[in-house]
Chains A and B, each alone.
Chain A
């Protein structure tokens, strides 16, 4: 460490090695991953995001939804991801190639959202809007999600009620002559959530036979 330049060079090499070993190598392998063309369907998968969904993904990032929700389904022997109906297969890199800001997430305070658009029972835009506004899952009476009322405007009804206005009941009914209308942010967020649909099976996503781990495997 007495040799100044050599010390700095060593530090730089240490950083570069790990960068090359993880980021550069994986980019070399997956950076040019193409969509998968299915001749039988005459279409490429994954489908491109509609523009409104791409905008919604930025709303998702800005509100930090990823601090409680993941967007990745792990393979069958990992937790209950498949049993909870989050997807029929594990997520693979190809699912995400058209997403501008991939947010896999690191916390599951709330459920995974990878496949929300293909979930059963299916939620429609109206359900999700109401959920975001009230924080209550349709059909329940408990607030489990922070109510995102800031994604909605309360407006006076001028003339006809807006087509987008939420049809709220109970304690949430807006004051007479008012309506609750989702903002553009809410609309694009919901469009993004409903565009999440990873039902297509890629060759690499099919469950592969799990070989029995060899007995001498150094498993700690």
Chain B
């Protein structure tokens, strides 16, 4: 390799021709007999490095891939066994939402006081606070005819059926009925025991499909 006669710093001189470049590197890729029995450190160390990287990759994926589950967004939390955890919703919260969702509050009002002479109040009502047997039936199937609440007669309006029964415009599940009853029985100073979905389901199963109750029929119940 000789130094060029004049060197232009803006012009890069080539020190190898294209043919020799190709040939030399092709030779390097070919299999060479290890003439001098050289122990070459680099291939071994590179192999070691690459294996190390692959080992790391495998470990990392095993630990933090969330089992390749599409619903795992946090790699530390593995998917739940046996499906999605059912969330506990406070029945009073649900009941309040249901009550105020244009279903109950239209007649009984947000205050639970009803409309004098037309819709009976729920606050302090003996029907609401009394035995679960009656109040569950009223909400499930509805109530027709005259009813006496806190000494006043109401007969102008009928209570519609809310349960999953024939002719119901609401088709609420037993859960929802239990929730709304629990809310009504513990709001506005009312203080009666909560009602569980199981109680509603038991009565629903016992009565099956039927028409709305009347106050007399209910009065016969224990």
Given A39-B173, A40-B97, A203-B84, are A210 and B59 neighbors across the interface (CB < 8 Å)?
Answer: no
Contact of B176 with A40 in the complex, beta carbons under 8 Å: yes
Cα–Cα distance between A208 and B76 once the two chains are bound (Å):
9
Given A75-B73, A75-B74, A213-B76, are A218 and B63 neighbors across the interface (CB < 8 Å)?
Answer: yes
Within 8 A of A (CB), among B157-185: 173, 176
Contact of A90 with B97 in the complex, beta carbons under 8 Å: no
Contact of B97 with A209 in the complex, beta carbons under 8 Å: no
Report chain B residues within 8 Å CB of A84.
none
**Residue A214 interfacial (CB < 8 Å):** yes
Give the shortest distance, in Å, between A144 (CB) and chain B (any CB): 32
Report chain B residues within 8 Å CB of A26.
70
Give the shortest distance, in Å, between A70 (CB) and chain B (any CB): 16
Give the shortest distance, in Å, between A157 (CB) and chain B (any CB): 43
Cα–Cα distance between A203 and B70 once the two chains are bound (Å):
13
Contact of B59 with A218 in the complex, beta carbons under 8 Å: yes
**Residue A83 interfacial (CB < 8 Å):** no
**How would residues 155 to 190 of chain A score, 1 for a CB under 8 Å from any chain B CB and 0 otherwise?**
000000000000000000000000000000000000
The winner among A33, A39, A203, A213 for most chain B CB atoms within 10 A is: A203
Contact of A203 with B60 in the complex, beta carbons under 8 Å: no
Count how many pairs of residues, one from A and one from B, have CB atoms less than 8 Å apart in the complex: 44
Cα–Cα distance between A209 and B74 once the two chains are bound (Å):
10
Count residues on chain A whose CB falls below 8 Å from chain B CBs. Answer: 24
**How would residues 51 to 87 of chain B score, 1 for a CB under 8 Å from any chain A CB and 0 otherwise?**
0000010011001000010111110111000001101
Cα–Cα distance between A206 and B74 once the two chains are bound (Å):
11
**Residue A204 interfacial (CB < 8 Å):** yes
Report chain A residues within 8 Å CB of B74.
75, 208, 210
> Which of B56, B68, B73 is close to A218, meaning CB atoms less than 8 Å apart?
B56
Cα–Cα distance between A106 and B77 once the two chains are bound (Å):
25
The residue of chain A having its C-beta at the shortest distance from the C-beta of B57 within the complex is A218
Give the shortest distance, in Å, between B84 (CB) and chain A (any CB): 4
Contact of B73 with A92 in the complex, beta carbons under 8 Å: yes
Contact of B70 with A210 in the complex, beta carbons under 8 Å: no
**How would residues 6 to 44 of chain A score, 1 for a CB under 8 Å from any chain B CB and 0 otherwise?**
000000000000000000011001100100000110000
Report chain A residues within 8 Å CB of B59.
218
Report chain B residues within 8 Å CB of A213.
63, 76
**Residue A141 interfacial (CB < 8 Å):** no
Contact of B56 with A217 in the complex, beta carbons under 8 Å: no
Contact of A40 with B89 in the complex, beta carbons under 8 Å: yes
> Which of A93, A203, A210, A214 is close to B77, meaning CB atoms less than 8 Å apart?
A210
Cα–Cα distance between A97 and B71 once the two chains are bound (Å):
14
27 examples of A-B residue contacts, CB within 8 angstroms: A25-B68, A26-B70, A29-B70, A30-B70, A39-B173, A40-B89, A40-B94, A40-B97, A75-B73, A90-B73, A92-B71, A203-B84, A203-B85, A203-B87, A204-B71, A204-B72, A204-B73, A206-B87, A208-B77, A209-B77, A210-B74, A210-B77, A211-B76, A213-B63, A218-B56, A218-B59, A218-B63
Hey, which bits of chain B sit against chain A, CB under 8 A?
56, 59-60, 63, 68, 70-74, 76-78, 84-85, 87, 89, 94, 97, 173, 176
